[in-house]
Amino acid sequence: MNAPLIDPFARAIRYLRVSVTDRCDFRCVYCMAEHMTFLPKADLLTLEELDRLCTTFVDLGVEKLRITGGEPLVRKGIMTFFRAMSRHLDTGALKELTVTTNGSQLARFATELADCGVRRINVSLDTLDPAKFERITRWGRLPQVLDGIDAARRAGLRVKINTVALKGVNDDELFTLTDWCAREGHDLTFIEVMPMGDLGGEDRLDQYWSLKDLRDQLAQRFTLTDLAERTGGPARYVSVEETGQKIGFITPMTHNFCESCNRVRLTCTGELYMCLGQEDVADLRAPLRASSDDAVLTEAIRAAIARKPKGHDFDYSRQKVAGQMSRHMSHTGG
């Protein structure tokens, strides 16, 4: 019943990313259309249902839980869910509870997140230029995010900055962002833009900035040493000799990370995506609601993991976006 989850390629599933809402207070150009149609609130799993689903995954060997959105901290009552999940940290069944956020609500919730056992967070931040920040996020304000990051640090949370590499947008800030993170004591991870969703005129090829090129630019100024470290996610890391900081690269396009993939993604409606870059999906809401017997839900989860593919099909070669996903990034939480 509680045997670990092993996919067809002998990878143990230890990492669950959970999107608790598709809503967000930003409209980032690589993530959402400006005028989004969000799900009716009645379609979303309740916080109690999310608790039951996540608990079932923890019982099946998931050790890392990352809460995402949309923007997870805009969901009403979300701290109730974090407090509930903290019990799995207390038992030792869950090794890490963490969150990916745009930072807009951190000033409100950082202390409470720390009290729930969250020790580190990822904050999406693509620029330190206020005007550019408004253009990228459409609705966001940079000072609010920087205040949130400061609040997180005061609460004792380790902050990692996630920056989507956008050609012609933030490629001129490579060293500005790197130097700022070094000064502030934040780790930094660069992410290649992925072909997901119709963004209302935003061209993926125009946005795409290869992290191979980005790393080559960094290496012209810094001494980079590859690290064997893995955090359970897709990033590959280097240490920067001159600053002592750690920089990560998530490269689904130039070098996919599928061979070591140990994660699946649960949406706020109970859909389980076994791969970010494939359309195959399993409905867990139906078995969740069909029976109070967790054996039914467990069977559905195992059947879904048995369909996990070897890898994704993202490809920017031949100057077209191949393997493009029709859903928005916000649907599965990245």
pLDDT at 316: 41
pLDDT at 241: 97
Q: At the top level of CATH, which class does the domain 15-332 belong to? A: alpha beta
pLDDT of residue 273: 96
Specify whether the CB–CB gap between 193 and 325 falls below 8 A: no
pLDDT over 70 (residue 40): yes
What does the pLDDT read at residue 319?
Answer: 44
- The three-state DSSP-derived secondary structure of 268-312 is CCCEEECCCCCCCEEECHHHHHHCCCHHHHHHHHHHHHCCCCCCC
Question: Is residue 147 helix, strand or coil?
Answer: helix
The top-scoring range by mean pLDDT among 64-68, 165-169, 207-211 is: 64-68
**Each residue's pLDDT tens digit, 174-216:** 999 999 999 999 999 999 987 644 544 445 567 789 999 999 9
Binding site, annotated residues for S-adenosyl-L-methionine: 30, 70, 124, 194
Return the higher-pLDDT residue of 215 and 279: 215
Question: Annotated binding site for [4Fe-4S] cluster: which residue ranges?
Answer: 24, 28, 31, 258, 261, 275
d(CA 307, CA 283): 13
Least trusted range by pLDDT, from 138-152, 224-238, 292-306 = 224-238
Q: What is the pTM of this model?
A: 0.88
Q: Show me where the domains of the chain are located.
A: 15-332
- Binding-site members for GTP are 17, 66, 100, 160, 263-265
Alpha-carbon Rg for the chain, nearest whole angstrom, is 19
Residue with the bigger pLDDT between 206 and 117: it is: 117
Q: Which residues are annotated as a binding site?
A: 17, 24, 28, 30-31, 66, 70, 100, 124, 160, 194, 258, 261, 263-265, 275
Whole-angstrom CA distances from 89 to 3, 17, 68, 81, 156 are 20, 16, 18, 13, 17
Does residue 104 contact residue 140 with C-beta atoms inside 8 Å? Answer: yes
What is the reported pLDDT for 196? Answer: 46
Rounded distance, CA 182 to CA 245, Å?
Answer: 6
